[in-house]
């Protein structure tokens, strides 16, 4: 029996049990953790892996890049791609802290909701993303790449504008940085926003009715927080396209469990893709977004067929 090997590389002290479980359920028979890995270590480690098997067995070996730092993960992913030598390749999948598959799922669900409710997706829309962590950064890049005008909203003094700008520059997108640390600043960030996304820390109410009632153009509100209270008042964890009335707008809510369900399918599906792709798969959050969109399309096609 051929062994399906997955090497998990993280710069942290431990790997994620969630990632291990999904990889095993997706068909990898041996999952081997490497912790404390830095970007400079990746090239030699990947080349050890690619030369251990003949080129035609690239589906049997995978590299998964995890950890909590999207900046390190981006460097590690690029170094892994640069490690390939001619026909000697393996699949590489980056999803640090689940941020890539989570952001892909958020943006795919927002795009679907906008099209269903208004006939038009993110192109030309105004988007405010509250939270500048891994998920918020990746979400801001993806919405901008879909043609939206995106604001990345700073919630604490510790949020680093330079770090966020560097991440956006990697993908050549222009994301506006605004402060949303005070009530008045939140009102300004909400003004004119057609899509509001909360990707802040769990268990903290970021936007209450006192702010949301001033949102004048909001069409979709998406919240990643599964720990009460939700990040956006009026949006519950199980919501999917649920209509929510605010004083100046009517929005359709997308809750954390709806996002999580698609994120699970996306991460699982990309682990499978590594093992089935006709060429060595190199997967980051752009591929996760494409996969999530396809999953929603297939689900809608089945629903309409029934």
Per-residue pLDDT at 299: 87
Same-fold call for 5-98+261-305 versus 99-258: yes
Phi-psi sector, 250: left (phi>0), alpha (psi -120 to 50), beta: beta
Report pLDDT for 300. 84
Please indicate, yes or no, whether the overall pTM of this predicted structure exceeds 0.85.
yes
Please compute the mean of the pLDDT values over residues 278-292 and round it to a whole number.
97
Q: Which residue has the tokens 């909360």?
A: 198
Residue where the block lists tokens 């090239």: 43
What's the mean pLDDT in 6-29? 97
Nearest in space to 127 (alpha carbons), one of 162, 99, 153: 153
pLDDT of residue 301: 84
Pairwise pLDDT comparison (162 vs 1), residue with the higher score: 162
CA-CA-CA-CA dihedral for 129, 160, 69, 220, to nearest 10:
0
Domain boundaries defined on the chain: 5-98+261-305, 99-258
pLDDT in tens, 248-265: 999 999 999 999 999 999
Q: How far apart are CA 193 and CA 185, in angstroms?
A: 13
Q: Which helix (H) or strand (E) holds 150?
A: strand 149-154
Which whole number is the average pLDDT over 61-80? 96
Whether the CB-CB separation of 212 and 190 falls below 8 Å is answered with yes
Of 106, 121, 198, residue with least CA distance to 152: 198
For residue 209, the SS3 value is helix
pLDDT of 303 strictly over 80: no
**pLDDT (0 to 100) of residue 304:** 73
CATH architecture of 5-98+261-305: 3-Layer(aba) Sandwich (3.40)
Asked if 132 contacts 152 with a C-beta cutoff of 8 angstroms, the reply is yes
CA dihedral 36, 42, 46, 49 (to 10 degrees): -30
pLDDT single digits (tens) 113-153: 999 999 999 999 999 999 999 999 999 999 999 999 999 99
> Residue 16 CA to chain centroid, in angstroms?
16
- Does 26 have pLDDT greater than 70? yes
Q: Report CA Rg, the chain.
A: 20
Question: Each residue of 190-247: pLDDT tens digit?
Answer: 999 999 999 998 899 999 999 999 999 999 999 999 999 999 999 999 999 999 999 9
From the options 3.90.850.10, 3.30.465.10, 3.40.50.720, 3.40.50.261, give the CATH code of 99-258. 3.40.50.720
In the block, residue with structure tokens 């710069």? 11
* Bridging pattern class, strands 195-198 and 240-245: unpaired
**pLDDT, position 10:** 98
- Rounded to a whole number of angstroms, the distance between the first and last alpha carbons of the chain is 40
Q: Which tokens sit at 91?
A: 């699949």
pLDDT tens readout for residues 150-187: 999 999 999 999 999 999 999 999 999 999 999 999 99
Residue 1 has pLDDT above 70, yes or no: no
pLDDT above 70 covers a percentage of the chain that reads: 99
Range 278-284 average pLDDT:
96
Look at residue 211 and give its three-state secondary structure: helix
Task: Write phi, then psi, for 245 (nearest 5 degrees).
Answer: -95, 125
Smallest CA-to-CA distance from 69 within 133, 158, 142 is with: 133
Count CB atoms within 10 A of the CB of residue 67.
24
């Amino acid at each position: 029996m051929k062994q399906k090997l997955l090497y998990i590389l993280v710069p942290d002290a431990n790997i994620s049990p969630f990632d291990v479980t999904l990889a095993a359920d997706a068909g990898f028979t041996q999952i081997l953790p490497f912790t404390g890995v830095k970007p400079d270590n990746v090239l030699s480690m990947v080349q050890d892996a690619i030369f251990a098997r003949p080129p035609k067995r690239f589906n049997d070996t995978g590299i998964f890049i995890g950890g909590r730092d999207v900046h390190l993960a981006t460097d590690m992913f690029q170094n892994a791609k640069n490690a390939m030598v001619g026909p000697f390749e393996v699949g590489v999948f980056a999803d640090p802290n689940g941020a890539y598959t989570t952001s892909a799922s958020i943006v795919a669900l927002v795009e679907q909701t906008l099209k269903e409710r208004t006939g038009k997706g993110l192109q030309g829309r105004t988007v405010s993303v509250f939270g500048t962590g891994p998920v918020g950064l990746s979400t801001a890049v993806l919405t901008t790449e879909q043609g939206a005008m995106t604001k990345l909203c700073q919630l604490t003094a510790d949020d680093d504008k330079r770090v966020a700008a560097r991440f956006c520059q990697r993908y050549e997108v222009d994301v506006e940085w605004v402060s949303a640390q005070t009530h008045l600043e939140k009102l300004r960030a909400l003004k004119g926003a057609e899509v509001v996304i909360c990707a802040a820390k769990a268990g903290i109410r970021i936007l209450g009715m006192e702010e949301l009632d001033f949102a004048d153009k909001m069409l979709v509100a998406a919240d990643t927080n599964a720990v009460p209270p939700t990040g956006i008042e009026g949006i519950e964890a199980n919501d999917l396209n649920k209509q929510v009335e605010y004083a100046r707008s009517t929005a359709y809510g997308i809750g954390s469990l709806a996002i999580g369900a698609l994120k699970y399918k996306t991460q699982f599906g990309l682990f499978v893709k590594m093992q089935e792709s006709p060429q060595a798969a190199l997967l980051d959050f752009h591929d996760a977004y494409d996969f999530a969109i396809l999953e929603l399309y297939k689900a809608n096609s089945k629903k309409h067929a029934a």
